[in-house]
Chains A and B, each alone.
Chain A
């Protein structure tokens, strides 16, 4: 077995696919730079990301897939599902080997697995469109912290850009340590360091707009008022809003006053 070590980017993975074909490498396993267990494998192949090679793979795929089938690949990659590189590689082999478009061969395991990954990312990206909770700072920046299961910031960028065209905003992925920032013109990727006290209530009070805390209370108040007690259905509630998201959801965090 040959271990393919790449930089973790989509282009890097595409380059790897190109080189697997180029060097006719059989029986591959993928690893990202930081966590490669090179010693476990007798053969390793290092991939240097090469946009020309990546583009050639993309072109080949584009010819054999529909537009949605083509973009689904990228979605699947961003799912960060366990062994997604291998799953996608098997799928790509099937796509390239077949004379016809196979993306709707739903009973095929390769197709099914990729579809699962695509679905996962799609759902997570929809969730982030829903669960982002902006807070306003004194200098008129709307910022939000999220921790999505999949790497979805690249997918939700346009949604927020189109919707909040007249306000500066920042959405920060605390899990992957990067954010997207809109400056009223363009969206750019940013890396920020938060220190330990950045979540303390004192710090938050210092940077927040004067009305911010009040609006959060209004929202919590609203959220409580629209509930119908006699229809309580906790299971459904949690199914739609899984607990892992609660720490970043304003309505699920108690008021500053009642926080310890």
Chain B
């Protein structure tokens, strides 16, 4: 049974795992079997930390002992911190105990590398197997695929986990070499490639044979650390685009670097976490996945970084004023999705609602769009022609003056400096 010393281990190993930002528990198709425990669905955030992030899974490391010395990682070999390791049974008991109380959707299990990759991966797989086979646990499991682990082990992991992830960590090989001399991109890309092929293969098989086993039904994801090194947003989003296109990733996560080291290759402790940039990257990511934007439309060689003071869709619109105004009563959904201030849901609502009557400005406001931003880009038969002759710079100024950005303080500080 769970013992008192687990308390301390949990504090250490949850603390060490929290810089992995993925908390998704959706997109799996696993269902409760034989009146066992748990199922998966659309994903639920059971709690939110005081920094406002979702707590969906029990996110822990099996151990924070590690043979690697990656500068950006809190568990790096040379870091003088408390080390701990769970036993297989402890992780199983914690997961089941938390799940039965409805604290969590399942388990997110990662680990420092002890001994070697296969040895670590074998331990992770053993835990997942035990949960599935002995406890009849059907909740969500996100497992780290350890770079360098054998394909047999990765395959077994896929047969029991819902999602697998290998973190690329650094957007470019150059940064990885600088901060994690023991690693290279190839070690990371290889397992991704293998998993992609297996996921596609099993999915295909499932179509013709419903009894075929699930293989990582919630797909794979990865994570990049942002702001620890010098990459621009073009490089970061270009890499993300590669993961979505070529690796068919479900998600790419961007983790604003939290300074944890006095290493002079990295931002000093006390440097603020680049939260605005992280937020803009997620917005750009959404534009690529849900709004039909091509990465080249969001960032380019002439514009390698996202604007911090406005969202990337507004940025695109201001650079492409010739595409506006758009008449929401006649335009295709694809075009409406490109209007700043209109989200996917609102765009669909507009297309549905305009079948009943010609929509006016007042109707749009009722539908819940950010009208103060979108009005500069809309064409109504009457009477909203007055915005027509504004330049990009003027529109931007109007919008920034009107909206109370949660980041406003950051910008006024920056302006005061110059």
Contacts and interface: CB of A to CB of B under 8 A. Distances in A.
Interface of A: 102, 104-109, 112, 126, 129-136, 142, 144, 159, 162-167, 211, 214-215, 217-219, 221-237, 239-241, 249-251
B51 A232 contact: yes
A240 B48 contact: yes
A106 to B, nearest CB: 4
Contacts of B38: 163-164
A191 to B, nearest CB: 23
Given A129-B44, A231-B273, A226 B357 contact: no
B352 interface: yes
B367 A106 contact: yes
Interface of B: 1-2, 4, 6-7, 10-11, 14-15, 17-19, 31-32, 35-39, 41, 44-55, 58-59, 94, 97-98, 100-103, 136, 256, 258-259, 272-273, 275, 349, 352-353, 355-357, 359, 363, 366-367, 406
Contacts of B102: 132-134, 144, 164
Contacts of B51: 227-229, 231-233, 236-237
A219 B101 contact: yes
Given A105-B356, A162-B39, A214-B2, A134 B100 contact: yes
Report which residue of B2, B36, B55, B273 has the largest number of chain A beta carbons within 10 angstroms of its beta carbon.
B55
Contacts, number: 159
B360 to A, nearest CB: 8
B14 A222 contact: yes
A165 B355 CA distance: 45
A217 to B, nearest CB: 7
Nearest to B13: A225
Given A107-B363, A222-B58, A237-B49, A228 B14 contact: no
23 contacts: A106-B349, A107-B363, A107-B367, A112-B366, A134-B101, A144-B102, A162-B32, A165-B36, A165-B37, A211-B2, A215-B98, A218-B94, A222-B98, A223-B47, A225-B10, A225-B15, A226-B49, A227-B18, A228-B49, A228-B258, A235-B406, A249-B47, A250-B103
A230 B10 contact: no
Given A219-B98, A232-B51, 12 more contacts: A106-B366, A133-B101, A136-B101, A162-B32, A163-B37, A164-B37, A165-B37, A166-B36, A226-B53, A228-B51, A233-B52, A240-B52
B45 A226 contact: no
A104 B2 contact: no
A225 B100 contact: no
B160 to A, nearest CB: 19
Nearest to B59: A226
Contact of A234 (B46, B50, B353, B406): B50
Main secondary structure of the interface of A (DSSP, over half): helix
A166 B38 CA distance: 9
A228 B18 contact: yes
Contacts of B32: 162-163, 165
Nearest to A167: B100
Nearest to B37: A166
B48 A241 contact: yes
Contact of B352 (A106, A134, A144, A239): A106
A109 B272 CA distance: 46
Contacts of B19: 228
Contact of B353 (A107, A109, A129, A230): A107
Contacts of B359: 107
Contacts of A129: 44
B363 A163 contact: no
Contacts of B46: 130-131
A232 B19 CA distance: 14
Contacts of A232: 50-51
A225 B356 contact: no
Contacts of A240: 45, 48, 52, 54
A254 to B, nearest CB: 15
A126 to B, nearest CB: 7
Nearest to B45: A130
